[in-house]
Structure 1
């Protein structure tokens, strides 16, 4: 274990210098802990340890500057930018690309590049690429684009001047400042040996620091490498080591271990399978001894913890769970998103109001953390779905949540500074039996409080969105830390933490392309051409770094278990790391790596679910429910459902399963039909039983139509929807439909004597129907939009807001197959109405449809053999078929889906053949 750090410890204890005369720089705090442990075990008397620091600590001590926290550095950058340029973008806009600017500033400093030259070349390159082909002068937007590239160089200079005055800056500037100071001042004069150990890739500024120590005769370097890293020039793992061997530094290299490494590469169908596999390895005894679980994909930590077996007594986890994956963080995020959307609505001239999705999401989590009662969540859901409530203002919230809750949690239009206090109160009230959840809530309170103190110095953080950006930036770096013994038991860590450390057993999870190595980062404004010209790192160097991490990690292990996910996703995921392919093809072995590699494929259980025809067999209970339906009332709509699909009819009518009610934020076709029907009912209602309809009365209806439409929209809770968006178009369609209808109606009343007898009439009647060798009382129901007397004859009218084909209202005979065909549903509806009128009122009638689109002046009538009035004997024949259909429903042995006709079934399930 840790043969490399043992080599470093031996060098420190060689007796040539005292510990106080030596200083060690290691790549991570984790390696510092291990080196101190090895030193303590290597001596038998109390001594002072040497100074042991990381490279960042070294640079900070030399430069005398501190590192700014992520929130402050972003705020300082924008403050500098807005001071330089009075037409600066809003902070919210700038913040979206400030990360790329800072990353490039770090690159410029760590590679000792003259910023003015680089950003001038970058501007020229952009101008050539974007505008060189244009002959005319640049427009305003094009000039603004050019100005952005012009501003980066001056921004870099002014930002460094500003931060140097405060003594706090970003890491790259600290490194560069340390390098500059070492040219004129001897750093750590009491140290006679400066030992760098465990590094691989070095930036120019780090090389300059090492060169300075070398010039002073104090530098020694210990490289943690292997012979097969550098034996082949094409091996990316040795890309940097081959360069350092050419330097004149005093340096030593690790000795190769000739023992054989046993490597098992396991393909898994999904991430959870990898974690289960790791748990089984620990259970089977692989958890004993010197072992580390390394996560190339750190999101696997959560599921991995669930798989730890009980036989593992000691576990040390150094990664930490990200706060951004916790329920408390998401709860706070929902709270701020609620306010952000409400603030944006207010800024557009609307009142402060909360969108139903934001409110529901926040309320559900609040209920989980016992801030509000469960019944409040149900009330919100009910009001949203049944009342079509899309937005909630302060008054609505006080009605639903209670004034005390609204005032306590700031669910109204509050100032940004007060919102900080409300969010703290929100977190204080979180209740949970999970100690981690409570701990995260307490830490988030500290972050919110600290961040509020920081942003108080920056007046441009003036909106809820900008406040949330600052809080999110601070919280994104936080981790849930675990308590453990860093030198005992199973060590769980990320790939970067393994630098300079060696373990006898390694379990490496998440070894897919994109994790190992990481994919290309696009958070930079420096294109490849600029990077190559200035010798800045490109993707090739990034890949070489990860190649070194991987091969160094496994080079001295005795057993290595590597898992990757084989499941493909829409982005091409599921490809194993290129380093695994190299191992499987023997490339490292050819270069001197002594390893035996085996591959195992773990597949998901290949369960074939064949095509399933859902069939419901009838029984006494089903027949009893059918009779109950007959007593409730048989309607045309239910009969129509049966003709399309018996199984859908069974679900909706027999079992009375309703469809899930969603929240429609725009008016749909159903709303259009309902609104038009309501307008026509209210318009014609004063004329019921008043004699002949006149042209003058139709003109009055048309004039008051817009006002009546608005009133009906208000009564249905649709008034706000129709102010803009798709609903405004639907409203316009309704106005046009009604206007055209009244114009055509004027022609009808001028050519015919029309009297209104009833509107939206609900007809009911009971009849004894022969069913299964007996008689059952069946109630029939019908709702007819309009009953009129036209030239002395009764006409039953149904309004349709959709198009109607005249061919669908014609049929040749009372043949059952033709009558009950789904494509004849409109004919069946009108025939049902005529039969109903015949039986109820003992009178003849005709029935037709008034379609709001694609219609002429006349009503489209139902026709049987080209006759509009259907004879009594024909209606009695329909009655016989109707009764037979009711008996068929009652006596059928099974209900199954009709594949040919049931295209719109809301409950029928037909699982396709699929592999799970």
Structure 2
């Protein structure tokens, strides 16, 4: 690099100042991450071995001054609950889950109050007065119980704070703010006890809280500390530039700088830089570009040690890793991947959800919901190890929506193909309210899965890292359960699990000093790289936006000197510009998709500011769009190979073409190909809500079974009335046969049941009215299979057509072929005056179906003497009654299907079949 890195420059400075006493120095850095890089710099610049200086993070340094052990936020929450329970009336104590909702925010406010050394009584008194003013009313005695309880809460805050502070202090533990406040109390004694030779070096800091400012200044005043900043002259001199907001303030206000040199101000932006600003639609586009950039960098220098990918959005870690080129041999991930997105975490959450909901539905029967069961069985970490495909098929085939835990185990025992699988037992066996036992079961689930990951490929290594992360989470919860007695229910346990997971991260192993560095924004502090790729430079990501989790309103924070989103933006601004200081090649990626939606983005203000401040460094400012082919979609085309033609002959001469298969060819030849030629069936799915085709089948079957006893006889009014009395019981019976275990007693399914019943009743009442009007009706066939043969010189062989017709009756000495339709059909759609149009438009599909039935019915020579008509009864157009096919226009159409009608139709039918069998005409998708 043209310029030495900040850590290299710091190393040179310290070696020159303390050539013989470097080991006595304590170097305080903003985070632990930079420690290994600083040690490497020191090692590379020393000619003789020495003891490493004491290099610590600022949190570790504060802990040393305060003499108090820091505890994490979850432990703080449990300790606070102990205090809260001890100072609250028993009747008013909330359960831990409810308590945690507001306590987490309150602890965060306690933390800020302490870090900024505010008088807590003043703050809480101020907040209470503000809340009282909000509720103030001109009319007296207008308070409500809610207002009283709200004001009482604000009144209790000082008591909560003081009791909690004293409790933690007595135990020698604390949250971060408490350590800061106590470190100020101990600062004088700490300073006096420091050996003369010991120096404290603060390096690479930017935004300090009030306590840190006091500590820095105090140690500088007593000549115990040196402070090394890292700021660019152009940013420091610009009084409006957010990146210099804090350091500008310290340089101006700290009295120590009246006699001490301010270090360091550099002129980084006077050096030549190659900054490329690249926008691309959607987040996934950025990950693709990251891979391309790294490939480009490697063509110039295969060693990626001086290259960093900084993720503005930590959720991009896995997509970025999957898009890295294969040439990246060495990689170091110096950031944690959030555990809430961890596949192992998602599995544990699904198991929690399954059992929590099962107990809530019915604790005795432990009722499971099919989707929750299948979600677990199909999870990527479970599916390879539990052979439950047959169980899944049975659940879907039988429409099991809700079922007992015992039923699931019965299905598994009946259909398992392998020996006993401990995973199934661990996951699905009933849970009681014993939190320790639940955590043990979940831990065993993870260990069992891990024991089966025996390969050392990249996928298994990542999977093991995910499993280990959640294993640690569960172990931590087990410790909490043993230590605290606050976990009394399954919902509380789940709540604690979610809280711990939100704080947890997946750590990946790597080589910290070699290869490509992948990190988050905060991990980049005090580090410098020649090539820097920053992703997600969008508003709401970088900077992160205005979200604030606090009981203290914005205007009060401003007045009290507490940080707000403005200060947070300034911190992010500093991090952003610091990444650019010593970099030569900089790639700034952002999501250019501005439309609404989950993955929409707005270009970050940092990019606009950069374009204004340093336009000479920007060598490229572009938006990459995905390559769009000239043709949006290429229709599928399947040539008719000898094997396809053989299969077509098998259909044509065997079971035959059905009317529905012929119309499916007209609708879309590819649909005909997949369903009829390839025999691909739709996947069984559980019907939570009764589908339209299921409803139609139920109506068809109900009518068939009601009419079955009355075939081959003329119907009477009494017959219809007998059927009407059986409608409800027969409809229920058919639902149980067709919809199997599906629930029809509530919700949308109950409505569907009522619709089916009403349709059947309306049909029977229409039939009764016709009989009362003098119609003579004899049922000949119900759900009857018809078959016909077509022989024509244009066809290569004799063709069979076959299909099921819903009903054939003799009505007033005329044969009626009837097709039931549960959807709406209009009589006008059954008229045609030119048969040549039938195969050109799918709107004529019902006519083709009816005429196919009529053609096949010609074989019934015993009914030759009767005229024939074919038509539809639409249950959504019941008032139209029987709507016959008619040849001709409007009211002049003829509904009688004569030999001439059949012959004319047969010409078109032969033409359609000829096209299907023609080897020169491929199956081509209609789009």
Q: What TM-score range do you get, normalising by the shorter chain?
A: 0.7 to 0.9
Task: Work out the CA distance in 1 between the residues paired with 2:516 and 2:680.
Answer: 54
Residue 81 of structure 1 deviates from its aligned partner by: 5.2
The one-character-per-residue Cα deviations of 1:558-579 (angstroms, maximum 9, x if unpaired) are: x232231454263575555444
Alignment of 1:80-479 (within 5 A): 84=88, 86=91, 91-92=96-97, 95=100, 99-119=104-124, 121-122=126-127, 137=142, 155-182=160-187, 188-190=193-195, 193-213=199-219, 218-245=224-251, 246-249=253-256, 252-256=262-266, 260-267=271-278, 269=280, 270=285, 271-285=287-301, 287=303, 292-302=308-318, 305=321, 316-346=332-362, 351-365=365-379, 370-373=384-387, 376=388, 378-402=389-413, 405=422, 408-416=425-433, 417=435, 418-430=437-449, 431-432=452-453, 433=455, 434-442=460-468, 444-479=470-505
Aligned residue in 1 for 2:695:
672
Task: Work out the CA distance in 2 between the residues paired with 1:42 and 1:825.
Answer: 86
| Structure 1 counterpart SS, 2:379 | helix
With over 3 angstroms needed to count, the CA separation of the structure-2 counterparts of 1:702 and 1:167, relative to structure 1, is: farther
| Structure 1 counterpart SS, 2:206 | coil
| Structure 2 counterpart SS, 1:738 | helix
Aligned residue in 2 for 1:747:
769
Aligned residue in 1 for 2:837:
817
| Structure 1 counterpart SS, 2:428 | coil
With over 3 angstroms needed to count, the CA separation of the structure-2 counterparts of 1:17 and 1:833, relative to structure 1, is: closer
Residue 667 of structure 1 deviates from its aligned partner by: 0.8
Aligned residue in 1 for 2:561:
535
With over 3 angstroms needed to count, the CA separation of the structure-2 counterparts of 1:133 and 1:596, relative to structure 1, is: farther
Aligned residue in 1 for 2:416:
none
2:709 equivalent among 683, 686, 694: 686
| Structure 2 counterpart SS, 1:199 | coil
Task: Work out the CA distance in 2 between the residues paired with 1:272 and 1:494.
Answer: 18
With over 3 angstroms needed to count, the CA separation of the structure-2 counterparts of 1:92 and 1:613, relative to structure 1, is: same
With over 3 angstroms needed to count, the CA separation of the structure-2 counterparts of 1:660 and 1:896, relative to structure 1, is: farther
Residue 60 of structure 1 deviates from its aligned partner by: 1.9
Task: Work out the CA distance in 2 between the residues paired with 1:183 and 1:909.
Answer: 84
Residue 881 of structure 1 deviates from its aligned partner by: 1.7
1:890 equivalent to 2:914? Answer yes
Task: Work out the CA distance in 2 between the residues paired with 1:135 and 1:656.
Answer: 79
Task: Work out the CA distance in 2 between the residues paired with 1:148 and 1:748.
Answer: 76
The one-character-per-residue Cα deviations of 1:674-720 (angstroms, maximum 9, x if unpaired) are: 2222222222223334654333x434433333333223222224554
Is 1:771–1:887's contact at 8 Å kept on the other side of the alignment?
Answer: no
Is 1:636–1:832's contact at 8 Å kept on the other side of the alignment?
Answer: yes
Task: Work out the CA distance in 1 between the residues paired with 2:318 and 2:380.
Answer: 23
Task: Work out the CA distance in 2 between the residues paired with 1:489 and 1:455.
Answer: 42
Task: Work out the CA distance in 1 between the residues paired with 2:665 and 2:320.
Answer: 52
Residue 476 of structure 1 deviates from its aligned partner by: 4.5
Task: Work out the CA distance in 2 between the residues paired with 1:439 and 1:397.
Answer: 31
With over 3 angstroms needed to count, the CA separation of the structure-2 counterparts of 1:849 and 1:144, relative to structure 1, is: farther
With over 3 angstroms needed to count, the CA separation of the structure-2 counterparts of 1:895 and 1:655, relative to structure 1, is: farther
With over 3 angstroms needed to count, the CA separation of the structure-2 counterparts of 1:852 and 1:35, relative to structure 1, is: closer
Alignment coverage as a number of residue pairs: 885
Residue 532 of structure 1 deviates from its aligned partner by: 2.0
Task: Work out the CA distance in 1 between the residues paired with 2:676 and 2:513.
Answer: 68
With over 3 angstroms needed to count, the CA separation of the structure-2 counterparts of 1:478 and 1:539, relative to structure 1, is: closer
Task: Work out the CA distance in 1 between the residues paired with 2:884 and 2:172.
Answer: 89
Is 1:268–1:564's contact at 8 Å kept on the other side of the alignment?
Answer: yes
Residue 669 of structure 1 deviates from its aligned partner by: 1.8
With over 3 angstroms needed to count, the CA separation of the structure-2 counterparts of 1:768 and 1:575, relative to structure 1, is: closer
Task: Work out the CA distance in 1 between the residues paired with 2:110 and 2:300.
Answer: 50
| Structure 1 counterpart SS, 2:17 | coil
| Structure 2 counterpart SS, 1:60 | helix
Scaled by the length of structure 1, what TM-score is found?
0.84
| Structure 1 counterpart SS, 2:108 | helix
Is 1:688–1:755's contact at 8 Å kept on the other side of the alignment?
Answer: no
Task: Work out the CA distance in 2 between the residues paired with 1:497 and 1:857.
Answer: 74
Deviates more, 1:19-28 or 1:874-883: 19-28
1:726 equivalent among 733, 737, 748: 748
With over 3 angstroms needed to count, the CA separation of the structure-2 counterparts of 1:718 and 1:21, relative to structure 1, is: same
Is 1:236–1:548's contact at 8 Å kept on the other side of the alignment?
Answer: yes
Task: Work out the CA distance in 1 between the residues paired with 2:598 and 2:465.
Answer: 36
1:68 equivalent to 2:71? Answer yes
With over 3 angstroms needed to count, the CA separation of the structure-2 counterparts of 1:524 and 1:5, relative to structure 1, is: farther
Residue 96 of structure 1 deviates from its aligned partner by: 5.3
Task: Work out the CA distance in 1 between the residues paired with 2:753 and 2:319.
Answer: 51
Scaled by the length of structure 2, what TM-score is found?
0.83
